[in-house]
Each structure stands twice: as structure tokens, then as C-alpha cells.
A and B are shown apart, each in its own frame.
Chain A
């Protein structure tokens, strides 16, 4: 065992240390355990057992100096025990990883000899052969260590539905032979896209909850942020990883200014910019510069560059809309999406005028994919309001209100309706 920090720590300290290790070390411990267990379920059970026994053993013998190494060694020993015991029963099943189990003395207590398999775990969870919704669920469950109940809550589905989704995905990994390794350099590009999409979705889902009274599900956004940072540690030279982290950091920089004292959403133009986090903006801007060195720049780098223009602008009225419009022009080339076109139209409205924006927005209104998208109605309403077409603006705001489930956004739209001078 690793050396004890103190002989008999207080139970509260032990619980805190275990919780902290769960938060910080879960992915490392599980990834290293899958390598010896050969399948995800055995590894998950072993890791859960290791965390459970940590509570008792650390309480009796002290908190180890390297909790992650202690947990990894314990979990790998358990997994190997299970694997040896069930050797005959399991021989018929295909293995995720099938080397000879390493001898026990290789499972050193120091942790220094344990390779970091977190990247392999991330790529396996985000494999394109898995359904997109399963990739997100597996990443939250296996990489972030969220309980199935929490993953279900995050995506507003019943726990049993989420449990079935995760089980099916794990079965596909085993039966289809999805490998447990980092893709080779020539496969890495397309495979990384799928990973970045999952992390971006986790972050944005947390950032703007589509439903309910709370605008930000801070925990989910936090997990997305941690995943983006983890990728940056594991793939420090990749420009798309730098771009995604830049986007996350530059969006987070405005987080504290997003709600007023009553919890109502403030548009960027209403926010108190002195509450934006200058240190985060500086970090994000440096990452954007690095990400934009790739040619052509990727979608996350461009979105981050747009966020950086906002973050570095001293006031709303001084926003460089021509620069933002130019970045959106590049973005629609690398990312064909009606939502990106909508955001470009909004930038066009500020760079050139509400009439130009409205023409573009009316064209987008014909796209069935945006038929129930509240931000399109809200953007049309805004353009109409600026053109002085009050009756139509009011109608468009009401349409946006019907389409949104988010209480904070509803309140914001109502303020906009109230601000329109009655035409009669």
C-alpha cells in the first residue's frame, strides 16, 4: 500500500478524498482496468468495488498519497481475479482487449508504470459505429463516471431507457469488435471529429438546457469543460482540440454575466462586461490563434474566433460585425447547417442592416429543419422590430415564446414584446 498521510483520518475527510478521486481519477482508473479486464462490464464492476473499498480501507489505514494509483491497482487486481476465476466461462466470449493478463507484480503500487489509456477509452466511447446518442451516453457514463440516473436526467429520458441504451452500446462494442485503442494517425482525423462533436454536445446541453426553469445545468457544462481540457492534455498539438477548448473557455468567460440578479437571461448586449472573466478571455484568445493556424480552419476554431471578437470588444456598440460576418462566411463553408446560416443572418443584420437580415431569415423560414426553432422566430422578430414593423414583430416574438420551453428565455422574450410601442 502507498504511504498513509495520517493514521486515522476523520470519516468526512475520507469521504471527501474518495469523492475527489472519483471526480479526478475515474477515467484513468477505468481505462487502465479495461486494459487488463478485457471487457467494460468487468472493469466497471471492479472499479466500483475499488471505490467502495477505498471508503473502508482509507478510513482504517489512512488516505494514500496517490489515490489514483491505489484505486487503479486495486481495481486491476479485482478485474484479474474475476478474469481468472471465470476463465473457462468467459473464454467463448470475444474480448475487447485480449493480451495475456500481465503478471501481478507488474501491477505496481506506484502508478508510474500504469499507461494512460484514457484516450483509447474516449475513442471507443465515441466510435462512429455507435449511435450518436449512445456515444454521448457512454462518454458521460464511462469517461466522466456519471451514474446512469444522472445521464438519464441530463437528456430528459427515463432511467430505464438510458440504462438500455448504454447496455446496447456496450454489447455492440463487444460483439462488433470495436477496438480499444487510439486510432492510427491516418484514421485520427475523422475519428476525432466524432469525439469533438460529443464533447461539444455535452457542453452545449449543459450550457443551454432546452427545458425547465434552470438555464444552465452547470454540472453538465462542467463535464463538457473537463472533457475539452482532458482532450487538450491528451492531444496537445491538435488544432481542432485547441479550437474546441477555446470555444468552451471563451463562452465560459461570459457565464457570470449571463443572468441578472433575478435569474433572468441577459442578452450579450445587456450584459455587464466588467463581469466577464479577463483571464479566461486571454487564455481562449491564445488558443484561438493556435487553432486558426490550421488551413482551412476547423468549425470549432471559427466559432471560437467569433466568440473571441465578442469577448474582446469593449462594448456591444463597438462590436466588429464585419469581422464576425467574415468568420461566419468561412464557417458556412466548413459546416453546412441551417443554425449556422441563421447566426450568419443575425450577424448580417448588424453588419449591414435589418432589411438584409430579414431577407435571409425569410428564406431560412422555408427550411423545415428550423420550423420549430425558437431562435429563428426571435431573430425575425428582432429584425422586424428594428424596421419599425411592430405588429409583425409582436407576432414573431409570440411565435418564439410558443416554441421555447426555457422559462428564463420566455421571460426575456416577454420583455422584448413589452418594449414594442403599441402601434395603436
Chain B
């Protein structure tokens, strides 16, 4: 079995906080795929993000906002376990995401 991270993208302006209850579509997905889900969360709005970079002298520079400017932003993620990419893609295609999702294999390190 391998682990995959499903990154959920939303349009920047749609990615507002939706309150404190889980969207029913997500609840249904999480119940259906409970056996494969290792973790996951929805994120607060992009406006609440803070980025950290290092300047030329290696000093930490903290700035307001997201790391990369883009029309789509990450709104949440799931960590799943799957036999192979096909299974991970089958799970990811059921995520009720706004703009779409990206599936990344998690690197194995010992």
C-alpha cells in the first residue's frame, strides 16, 4: 500500500470559511471512504495564511498571504492509503471539490 496526499483546490474568491459544520457532501465522502482515509482537514480562508521565506542572509522573513499567487488556492487535504495510483485517483475523483484536486504520492523514507 502507498500513501497519497489529495490537495483540494478552490477558486480564491470561493475559498471563504463555510462555518463550523462539515459540508454534507464531504461527510458522505468521508463515510464512504473511511477505510482509506488516514487524515484530512479543511483550511481557513487564504487571507488567514502566513508565509515564511529566507532572505539572502538566511534570515527568516515572515509575510502575510499565501506562498504562491494563483487563482486557485488549497482549501483542504486528505491523506489516503491506496494500493496504487488508480485506486488513489478513484478516491480523489469522488472528493466534492470546487476547482479540482491534485494527487501526490507521499515519499517513503526510512
Contact = CB atoms under 8 A, between A and B. Distances in A.
B89 A94 contact: no
A183 B85 CA distance: 12
Interface string B45-81: 0000000000000000000000000000000000000
A129 B107 CA distance: 18
A177 B108 contact: no
A94 to B, nearest CB: 7
Contacts, number: 28
A129 B2 contact: no
A177 B2 contact: yes
Interface in A165-217: 175-179, 183, 187
B105 interface: yes
Q: Which of A94, A175, A176, A183 has the most CB of B within 10 A?
A: A176
B86 A183 contact: yes
A366 B92 CA distance: 39
Contacts of A175: 105, 107
B110 A177 contact: no
Residue among B4, B105, B107 having the largest count of chain A Cβ atoms under 10 Å: B105
A94 B83 CA distance: 11
A179 B86 contact: yes
B105 A179 contact: no
A177 B89 contact: no
Contacts of B86: 178-179, 183, 187
* Secondary structure type dominating chain A contacts: loop
B84 interface: yes
Contacts of A178: 84-86
A125 to B, nearest CB: 14
Q: How large is the interface on B (under 10, 10 to 19, 20 to 34, 35 or more residues)?
A: 10 to 19
B36 to A, nearest CB: 14
Contacts of B110: 92
Interface residues of A, number: 11
B108 A129 contact: no
Contacts of B84: 177-179
B88 interface: yes
A179 B2 contact: no
Contacts of A179: 83-86
A176 B104 CA distance: 7
Contact of A94 (B82, B88, B90, B108): B108
Interface string B1-27: 010100000000000000000000000
A106 B1 CA distance: 26
A229 B107 CA distance: 39
Interface of B: 2, 4, 82-86, 88-90, 105, 107-108, 110
18 contacts: A92-B108, A92-B110, A94-B108, A127-B85, A129-B89, A175-B105, A175-B107, A176-B105, A177-B2, A177-B82, A177-B84, A178-B84, A179-B83, A179-B84, A179-B85, A179-B86, A183-B86, A187-B86
Interface of A: 92, 94, 127, 129, 175-179, 183, 187
